[in-house]
A and B are shown apart, each in its own frame.
Chain A
Amino acid sequence: MGLEIAGLSAGYGPVTVLRGVDFTARPGEVTCIMGRNGAGKTTLMKAIMGLLPGTGSVRVAGVEVLGLPAHRVPGHGLAWVPQGRRLFGPLTVAENLEIGGLLRGNRPEIRAHVLRLFPRLGERLGQVAATLSGGEQQMLAIARALCLEPKVLLLDEPTEGLQPSMIALIRDAVGQLRAEGVAVVLVEQRVEAVLKMADRVAFMAHGRVAEMVSAADLAPGARQFAEFVGV
């Protein structure tokens, strides 16, 4: 079931950014979203999370979540790793994870699972999040979202500005989540990363999903990268 979006329109006040987005993300798959700046990728993430008013339909595991108050959306199995991480900077690593696990009662087994995925965080539980390195902050942002035990995980440019070793680590984590049956939606601009991680790729332009193709049908020089991403 995963995530099913139909005819989603949303924006900021009088400015409409999304104009009838149709999109699906299946469990156990990584669906990448690509597009130029301003195509509506981040707006789509926010609209899915209920942070922007919208029309149309957003269903998670068959349950309609569009129109719910934003704080009730994650309870249906949606977790979001925002662009730029947006950690609770003055809070410690442990406190960030605790906020992540509020809706699941902060069960120890979830915390243990997350720390197995990112063992480095286990060594820094008492450290203030803002003082972590960029890669560690990204790990924490993902770990915090995983404390929700999501059915659908939205990742907005998680490898942005990271060194290659950190990118590999996050790629491994995404691979493991896919193996666990999570529907992963990944906003990503780097072609190489997309080709390595994605099962399917949605290309956005002008607030719509213009094309959705299997990653197996894409090569580094494919027409879609030039047309929708400009690379």
Chain B
Amino acid sequence: MSFGPFLLLALMEGLVTAAVLALAASGLSLVFGVMRVVNVAHGEFYMLGAVIAWFVTTLVPGPAWAGFLVALAVAPVAVGALAAAADRLVLRRLDYDPEATIVATIGLLYMIQQAALSFYGPDARPVAAPFDWRLQLPWFGYSGYKLFVVLAAAVVLLALWLFMTRSKVGLVMRATQVDRDVAQAFGIDVDLVYMAVFGIGAALAAVAAVLIVPIQQAHYLMGHDPLLLSFIVVIIGGLGSLRGTVVAALVIGLSDGVISMFFSPTLAKILATLLVALVLVFRPQGLFGVRDR
């Protein structure tokens, strides 16, 4: 295969990575943007979404697409509910203190991880793709499911953007993001907003995991890479900026696809981390972040 088709394949793979990354990172970015909480357990919510998807697809009888659709509905709700409970029981009691919440979410990370190890086990387990269609190009065949992942992620991100910019709840969240005290002075129940935001952020990670699990398999340690890459994406894009998150996910995902294919995945990670360092030095607020709010 000549260079052109190789590059096309690399870009398509990168696009899948970017789509899933954008979803997972948008959850992390939303939580930090509104609550100023650095959620170190975000990767474990991702892992939990994949594990729940495995359980659901195993339990639901019938064709693979039926189980997948149930998983796509159940996993984000379950993970979102768990995150909301964690907010209510842990983060609120810490009054969302930035340092204390980092330590608390590290604790949450290990609790979720070890719970998954206990109840799910150490094995990586596959989840069947909901359909088995291939796009046949002149140079190579490509998984139709991977294209579906890109499309589905784009739809969810569009829905998130509409929710944040067009709905009353989104408006309330944006106001709370700007000034918590003044939001309360206009009757906004900030505790409720925070609980919802933490739940939605985790649910977005779970959606990303359900989409990717037919490609990558579910494993109790699978949350590490998405957490690292999500942090890279939100730092580059600007913490709290949905637009920046999507753009940075595209940059990281596409470059990861190309560099991994032509050089090595390790080099892709090294360059992404280097990019984070450069952003932190020359534009600490990220490409689309705001320095002073």
Q: Which of A74, A89, A144 interacts with B178 by CB under 8 Å? A: A89
Residues of B within 8 Å of A28, CB to CB, are: none
Residues of B within 8 Å of A91, CB to CB, are: 171, 174-175, 178
Complex formed: what's the CA distance from A88 to B173 in Å? 11
Nearest CB in chain B: distance from A102 CB, A: 6
18 contacts between A and B (CB under 8 A): A50-B184, A51-B181, A73-B185, A74-B185, A86-B181, A88-B178, A90-B174, A90-B293, A91-B178, A98-B168, A99-B172, A99-B175, A99-B186, A102-B186, A102-B187, A102-B188, A103-B186, A148-B186
Q: Which of A74, A102, A144 interacts with B172 by CB under 8 Å? A: A102
Known pairs A99-B183, A144-B186 / 6 extra A-B pairs, C-beta < 8 Å: A51-B181, A71-B190, A74-B185, A88-B175, A98-B171, A103-B186
Given A88-B179, A89-B178, A90-B178; A71-B171 close (CB under 8 Å): no
Is there contact, CB below 8 Å, between B171 and A99?
A: yes
Among residues of A, the one whose C-beta sits closest to the C-beta of B189 is: A71
Residues on A facing B (Cβ under 8 Å): 46, 49-51, 69-75, 79-80, 82, 86, 88-91, 95, 98-100, 102-103, 144, 148
Is there contact, CB below 8 Å, between B185 and A89?
A: no
Q: Which of B179, B188, B290 interacts with A71 by CB under 8 Å? A: B188
Is there contact, CB below 8 Å, between A75 and B184?
A: no
Question: What is the size category of the interface that chain B forms with chain A?
Answer: 10 to 19
Residues of A within 8 Å of B175, CB to CB, are: 88, 91, 95, 99
Judge whether B135 is part of the interface by a CB distance below 8 angstroms: no
Is there contact, CB below 8 Å, between A75 and B187?
A: yes
Produce 1/0 per residue, B84-104, CB < 8 A to A.
000000000000000000000
Given A51-B181, A86-B179, A89-B293; A74-B186 close (CB under 8 Å): yes
